[in-house]
Amino acid sequence: MAETDLDLRADAADVQKQVHDKQIAFELATLRVLALAVGAVFMTRMVASFVLYSVGQALIASVVLAAGVLLCSGILLAQWRNELRPSLVRPLTILLGTLVTFNVFYILHTTGNLNQFFFSAMVLVAFGLASSTFMIWLTFVVPFLIIFAWCLFDLQVANVTPYIAILIGGLALSAVAFFVRMPTIRKLIELEVVHSHNARKLALSNQAKDQFLANMTHELRTPLTGVIGMIDLMEDTKLSAEQAHYLGTARKSAHYLLMVVNDILDIAKLEAGKLFLNSEPLDAVLLTKDITSIFDHRVRQKNITLSLDLPEQARIPVRGDNIRIGQILLNLLENALKFTENGRIDITLEVMKPGAEITLKWTVRDTGVGIADDRLHKLFDRFEQADSSSTRTTGGTGLGLAIIRDLVDLMKGRIGATSTVGEGSTFWFELTLPAVELMDLPDRSQSKGDRQFVSDNSRSAAAEAFGELRSPEPGDEPGLVRILYAEDNPVNRELVGRLIRREGWSGVAVVNGLEAVENVRENGNEYDLILMDIQMPVMDGLEAHKIIKQETRSSLPIVALTANTLPDDMRRYEEAGFDAIVGKPINVAELRAVVEKLVSPALQG
């Protein structure tokens, strides 16, 4: 509590200091305007005095006027050079006002021209506009009124009433000008400072949130890489039926945990504004078929009928985010399968508005348990579930539907649901996407370009024990794909080594980027590819990649092997020049595809 109080006091002190600095800046600006105005008036009066008065009178007047012009010029020059001390601002403002007062008084006294009272009233109003504090305004006004009252009686004016009225009117206008203007200006200054202060704190908060999100992505995926990877390796060994059952259960639990982690990270990305959409040509029909086919085996296990109703067009080419649209449909199908024990699930894709932009509507209907009306409208809220009671038969975080609602909103689409308890539910979403030509659709038989990006897997363990089994040295088995892999985590290092051996490749492990650089310098021509972890001690993967490419002039393909799969991270690795990016946990089929693409076919035996 004490630290919080100190932080609040520090914030308040910082705001007050900024308000004070802004006030001084305003007073400097006011002084600059006043110096320009007074200097111009004095210069005009100095010229006019030689026209209107005798030479003697003009010379006497010019001494004071010239001094005023020089003072104003000096103030403007000092401000231009940023040499004017803040402590001099208020005294100089008062001095300029005094010079104007003296000048008006001098002309009135020497000429006896009572029209100067009108000018004096305007001077009073100008004082009200030029004052930045009450003390300056008072210092202006009191001497001014005393001098002109004395001057009035010294001139022995017969009827002083109109002139006193003029001065009182000027005083009133001056007071109104000051007391209306200054509180507003101070309030604007305070609001500007507070807004700037809050914006700065928000920027720091967002920066901290971004860093936290990056760390959590990295740290949550780290143990999951080791868990899932080792389970996959174990399942390829000779197992008894009981062991296979235990491992299968562990694998399902690990993948469910990965799904929960991905949901939490997606929510964090959405809240931090770090979830970005890709825009690439896709086939809506093919995407729907691909997502639906994932569930074929599971619906057969539950003895559920899964039907797919597609438009007449064999292909619907549009531009959008293939992964995120698939994620929405996948989540809706997961929910339908979870709550449907028998009956059917129907998926429908409709073309609502064809044209330059195509409105597509996906509908998922099930014959499951249904949702009560009082729960239906809350389904798309975070942490809400159709059944939140302690006796519910299905689990879940209550994040899936909230995420797809946010994704649909991000794509400027619509989503909704209807349901009847005991009869089933219908979920639908609509997206309006730009149409593209059929020729723009990617050829599924070829990779997507010079670089592949394999992400949305998971990340490896924080184990301390070093259990590394070293792979064969390069050159021991000619004809193998020879891989140098840099990984600081012992469990991940062992996992990657075993995956390399299982694929029939040859590999050498190093524990950081510096060792990778030194190894390439000494044995660079003995490798065909480098797998480079990003976050490592001593030297990280980005720095190692830069040195290998620039200093050693190596042409070895380098693949980023990383748990940092946020869009900003992926763009950073792409811009750094990595030949491919493989996310953690490692999908063996995807890693194999990357290696086969990047390594010359002649080396693959």
Least confident range from 171-185, 341-355, 540-554: namely 171-185
Between the two ends of the chain, the Cα-to-Cα distance in Å is 68
Q: Which residues contact 436 (CB under 8 A, 6 or more apart)?
A: 281, 317, 318, 319
Assign 274 a pLDDT band (cuts: 50, 70, 90). Answer: low
- Does residue 6 surpass a pLDDT of 60? no
The confidence score (pLDDT) of residue 443 equals 66
In this prediction, residues 53-77 reach a mean pLDDT of: 81
Mean pLDDT (whole number) for 273-298: 83
Tell me the pLDDT band of 68, cut-offs 50, 70 and 90.
confident
Between 477 and 30, the more confident residue is 30
Higher-confidence residue: 111 or 605? 111
How far apart are the C-alpha atoms of 176 and 170, rounded to whole Å?
A: 10
Give the mean model confidence (pLDDT) for residues 396-420: 81
Residue 362's pLDDT is: 94
CA–CA separation, 605 and 506 (whole Å): 13
**pLDDT-wise least confident of 146-160, 233-247, 278-292, 350-364:** 146-160
Structure confidence at residue 231 as a pLDDT band (50, 70, 90): confident
Give yes or no for a contact between 204 and 252, defined as CB atoms under 8 angstroms apart. no
The confidence band for 507, taking pLDDT boundaries of 50, 70 and 90, is: very high
445 band by pLDDT with thresholds 50, 70 and 90: very low
Which range, 185-199, 226-240, 482-496, has the best average confidence (pLDDT)?
482-496
Q: State both tokens at 332.
A: 């809706």
Residues 378-397 have a mean pLDDT of 49
What is the CA angle 118-119-124, rounded to 5? 100
Q: Is residue 450 pLDDT above 60, yes or no?
A: no
For the chain, give the mean pLDDT: 77
- According to the model, what pLDDT value does residue 210 have? 64
Compute the distance between CA of residue 605 and CA of residue 600 in angstroms, rounded to an integer.
Answer: 10
Mean local confidence (pLDDT), 581-604: 79
Residue 509 pLDDT > 90: yes
Please give the average per-residue pLDDT across 11-33, as a whole number. Answer: 75
Residues 542 and 571 sit within 8 Å (Cβ to Cβ): no
Per-residue confidence (pLDDT) for residue 348, from 0 to 100: 93
Least confident window among 446-455, 479-488, 576-585: 446-455
Convert the pLDDT of each residue in 303-316 to its tens digit: 889 999 999 888 89
Higher model confidence: residue 218 or residue 511? 511
Model pLDDT for residues 410-439, shown as the tens digit of each residue: 899 999 888 888 889 999 999 999 988 888
% of the chain at pLDDT higher than 90: 15
Q: How sure is the predictor about 230, in pLDDT bands with cuts at 50, 70 and 90?
A: confident
Higher pLDDT, 454 or 9: 9
Report CA-CA distances (Å) from 179 to 129, 133, 188: 10, 10, 15
- Residue 440 near residue 451 (C-beta atoms within 8 A): no
pLDDT at 483: 93
Tell whether pTM > 0.85: no
pLDDT at 448: 36
Q: Is 476's pLDDT higher than 50?
A: no
Contact of 207 with 177, CB cutoff 8 Å = no
| Alpha carbons 214 and 229: distance in angstroms, whole number | 22
Is residue 537's pLDDT more than 50?
yes
Label residue 209 by pLDDT band (50, 70, 90): low
Least confident of 154-163, 319-328, 538-547, 548-557: 154-163
Q: In whole angstroms, give the CA distance from residue 20 to residue 330.
A: 57
Counted residue by residue, the chain has a size of 605
The whole-number pLDDT of residue 512 equals 92
The confidence score (pLDDT) of residue 465 equals 24
pLDDT digits (tens, 9 = 90+) for 91-104: 888 888 777 777 77
Q: Is the dihedral of CA 131, 136, 137, 141 positive or negative?
A: negative
Between CA 325 and CA 346 the distance in angstroms is 18
Low-confidence winner among 40-54, 196-210, 502-516 (lowest mean pLDDT): 196-210
Task: List the beta strands (DSSP E) in 374-442.
Answer: 414-420, 424-434
- The residues near 84 (Cβ < 8 Å, ≥ 6 apart) are 28, 75, 78
